Amino acid sequence: MANLILDEAAAATTEAGSMCSLDHYLSLPDHSMDERIAEARARLGSSTILLGHHYQRDEVIRFADFTGDSYKLSKAAAETDAEYLVFCGVHFMAESADILGRDGQQVILPDLNAGCSMADMAEISQVEACWEVLEHLHLSEETIPITYMNSSAAIKAFCGERGGLVCTSSNAGAAFRWAFERGKRILFLPDQHLGRNTGYAMGIPLDAMPVWDPWGLEGGQTKQSLAASRVLLWKGHCSVHQRFLPSHVDEVRAKYPDIRVIVHPECRWEVCQKADALGSTERLIALVDEAPAGILFAVGTEIHLVNRLARHAASQGKHVITLDDTGCLCTTMYRISPQHLAWALENLVEGRVVNHIQVKKSVKHWARVALDRMLEVK
């Protein structure tokens, strides 16, 4: 988070003691925040919008003006006239909202500890070191860097400055095609599974997609393996989606022979090969919505979304269960609580902006270039 300017005013205490500290909020029960959040929202009016990611807990997302995946929410925020964008998600999402937002808009992340383990698996210094190896081997000029939306602003800027772009799970295939029109290989950051699943769907063999290990000498690769690669995958993953195993698919099919298994492409290649369909969070929702009544789905993604989708599907005569009975919770997303949200909103009512997420101008420029290129991809 070194490429952020973090305004943590009132993070521990507030001016003149007119409001309680965050610690006081955290000592209160969830349900006691509902009226306070609603009252603060009413007082702030159209100056403030709340953005809720699909993986957010019900107690928070119920107050969202917009729900969706990270890019959909950032784009929606940039198209509003609101001055304050309260992002109930994780830090890379708040960064993206600041990058895409208009002058004068301020992005607030209710809890600065809400990070993303996948995004943290690609540090900018490590990516620069990887690129230096490719330059030394004279491979960089034929390599196009692509980063998943789930990455830091610094990584997005790195890709933008070197002729690359950002992608989402829904347009990764289009981004790959765009890149192959401009280079021989792709350096894909930071989720190896999305990169592998996307490349394989395009006919790229697994042995042409080696994994760069940032902790290994020259990524754990040889000059020959790098030169022969079509997609150089970064050794990163989603801690939620990697928990799904091929055995989970086998077990649910044995129990429910007619079940449809749909999973997020951040899941392992072996899981995706056994599934009936892959899709982004928005696509998974659409697959259930478009199905006829009576269909049973096992969904491989974050448990809050699965539970919410199950309730929605039940009203349509369909059934949704999680692919893994133990449930896969995004613990970093869960950090945003009703208490954090009430604290951030009530500070705004008092004229204080807490946990202001502001990407440095030098980083924002190239990150915006990478995001704008993504908008051009069809």
- Please report whether residue 65 resides in a domain: yes
In whole angstroms, what is the distance from residue 174 CA to residue 192 CA? 17
End position of a domain, from candidates 191, 223, 238: 238
The helices-and-strands tally (H runs, E runs) of the chain is 16, 15
Task: Tally Cβ neighbours within 10 Å of residue 197.
Answer: 25
Do 250 and 225 share a structural domain? no
- Which residues, listed in sequence order, are joined to residue 49 by a DSSP beta bridge? 85
> Tokens standing for 169?
């799970």
Judged by DSSP in three states, 301 sits in: coil
pLDDT score recorded for residue 73: 83
What are the contacts of 305-312 at 24+ separation with CB within 8 A? Answer: 305/54, 305/55, 305/281, 308/54, 308/58, 308/61, 309/284, 309/285, 312/288
pLDDT score recorded for residue 327: 67
Beta strands in the chain (DSSP E): 4-7, 48-53, 66-68, 84-88, 106-108, 143-148, 165-167, 185-189, 211-212, 231-234, 260-263, 277-278, 296-300, 319-322, 356-359
Do 164 and 102 share a structural domain? no
- Please report whether residue 374 resides in a domain: no
- Please report whether residue 373 resides in a domain: no
- Please report whether residue 160 resides in a domain: yes
CA angle in degrees (0–180, nearest 5) for 20-23-28: 85
Do 127 and 76 share a structural domain? no
> Tokens standing for 27?
């000592």
- Please report whether residue 327 resides in a domain: no
Give the pLDDT of the chain (378 residues) as one tens digit per residue.
Answer: 545 554 444 333 333 334 567 888 888 888 889 999 999 999 999 999 999 988 888 889 899 999 888 778 877 887 888 999 999 988 888 998 999 888 889 999 999 888 788 888 999 999 999 999 999 999 999 999 999 999 999 999 999 999 999 999 989 999 999 999 999 999 999 999 999 999 999 999 999 999 999 999 999 999 999 999 999 999 999 888 999 999 999 999 999 999 999 999 999 999 999 999 999 988 999 999 999 999 999 999 988 889 989 999 999 999 999 999 876 777 676 788 999 999 999 999 999 999 999 999 989 999 999 998 988 887
What pTM did the predictor assign? 0.87
Do 111 and 29 share a structural domain? yes
- Please report whether residue 375 resides in a domain: no
pLDDT score recorded for residue 17: 39
CATH code assigned at 163? 3.40.50.10800
pLDDT score recorded for residue 9: 40
First-residue to last-residue Cα distance in the chain: 31
Q: What b/e sequence results for 92-111 when a residue is b if at least 16 CB atoms lie within 10 Å of its CB, and e otherwise? A: bbbbbbbbbbeeebbbbbbb
Q: How many domains is the chain built from?
A: 3
Residue 376, burial from CB neighbour count under 10 angstroms (0-12, 13-18, 19+): exposed
Task: State the residue range of the domain holding 109.
Answer: 4-116+332-360
pLDDT score recorded for residue 16: 35
- Please report whether residue 365 resides in a domain: no
Do 247 and 210 share a structural domain? no
Do 205 and 175 share a structural domain? yes
**37, 62 contact by CB (below 8 A):** no
DSSP state, 275? S
